[in-house]
């Protein structure tokens, strides 16, 4: 059963996607900042007063996601806002990684570093992505300054996804699946941002970016709550 704030999140998400489709920036400047605010409110309501370290980290991560969302809305005014957004989401991924490292069944053996093969697909994906966008970054004087921040960010989001993989067998299956799925959607959303900005801009990029991002954040929220069913209201 969905909670009222979940329904509100879905409604705002639909409005945001529709605004991206129609190019309505007036609506977009209202709906996009509301997404993380409502998700934070939902998360806080779901947790109630039963806060633990992981819940606190996730809540702060959502806040820095909000910072990133807002900053990226102003890139059209100044390219430096892209770096501000990058830093906001960089902090988000660091907080996520720390939160996901805190597993419920610590006695169970982690997949990593023993089974390194499980992250081979992720490594191939990231290397392929970088092989596409790095030439685009270095080949343009206006974007050359973004190279190091982008590489650092790529390392951070990769690390975050690795930590979600390492939760396998150490949290309940539902929590693992939701968080892992959310992390992948977040990664794909960021990949489209990079391709759109540094390789080849395409008209529907913002639509796919937001659909993946909105879904990813929601799944991360739900998955983290599922890790601690005793704290859910």
Place of tokens 């395409």: 202
Provide CB contacts within 8 A for 5, sequence distance 6+. 38, 41, 42, 45
Q: How many CB atoms lie within 10 A of CB 87?
A: 17
CA distances from 19 to 6, 7, 11, 78, 203 (A): 20, 18, 12, 22, 14
**Distance separating alpha carbons of residues 120 and 201, to the nearest angstrom:** 29
Q: Are 47 and 232 in contact (CB under 8 A)?
A: yes
Place of tokens 């801009």: 201
Distance of CA 155 to the CA centre of its chain: 14
Q: How many Cα atoms within 13 Å fall on the side-chain side of residue 215?
A: 15
Distance of CA 45 to the CA centre of its chain: 21
For 79-123, what is each residue's pLDDT tens digit? 889 999 999 999 999 999 999 999 989 889 999 988 999 999 999
Name the most confidently modeled range: 67-76, 176-185, 199-208: 176-185
**Distance separating alpha carbons of residues 215 and 81, to the nearest angstrom:** 24
Helical packing angle, 120-138 and 173-194, nearest 10°: 20
**Distance separating alpha carbons of residues 44 and 22, to the nearest angstrom:** 32
| In the chain, % of residues over pLDDT 90 | 83
DSSP-derived secondary structure for 174-186: HHHHHHHHHHHHH
- Tell me which DSSP letter residue 108 carries: S
Tokens of 225: 């709550």
Mean pLDDT for 139-148 is 90
**Distance separating alpha carbons of residues 231 and 219, to the nearest angstrom:** 17
Provide the whole-model pTM.
0.94
Q: CA dihedral defined by 174, 179, 181, 182, rounded to 10 degrees?
A: 140
| pLDDT grade for 76, boundaries at 50, 70 and 90 | confident
């Amino acid at each position: 059963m969905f909670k009222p704030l979940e329904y509100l999140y879905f409604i705002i998400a639909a409005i945001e996607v529709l605004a991206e489709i129609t190019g309505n920036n007036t609506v977009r400047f209202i709906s996009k900042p509301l997404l993380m605010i409502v998700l934070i409110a939902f998360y806080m309501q779901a947790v109630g007063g039963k806060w633990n370290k992981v819940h606190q980290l996730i809540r702060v991560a959502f806040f820095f996601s909000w910072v990133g969302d807002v900053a990226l809305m102003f890139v059209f005014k100044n390219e430096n806002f892209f770096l501000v957004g990058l830093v906001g989401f960089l902090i988000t991924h660091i907080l996520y990684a720390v939160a996901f490292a805190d597993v419920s069944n610590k006695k169970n053996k982690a997949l990593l570093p023993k089974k390194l093969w499980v992250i081979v697909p992720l490594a191939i994906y990231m290397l392929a992505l970088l092989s596409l966008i790095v030439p685009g970054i270095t080949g343009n004087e206006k974007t050359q300054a973004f190279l190091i921040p982008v590489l650092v960010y790529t390392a951070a989001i990769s690390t975050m996804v690795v930590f979600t993989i390492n939760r396998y067998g150490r949290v309940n299956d539902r929590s693992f699946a939701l968080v892992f799925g959310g992390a992948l959607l977040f990664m794909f959303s960021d990949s489209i941002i990079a391709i759109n900005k540094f390789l080849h801009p395409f008209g529907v990029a913002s639509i796919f970016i937001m659909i993946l991002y909105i879904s990813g954040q929601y799944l991360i929220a739900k998955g983290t709550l599922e890790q601690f069913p005793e704290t859910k209201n």
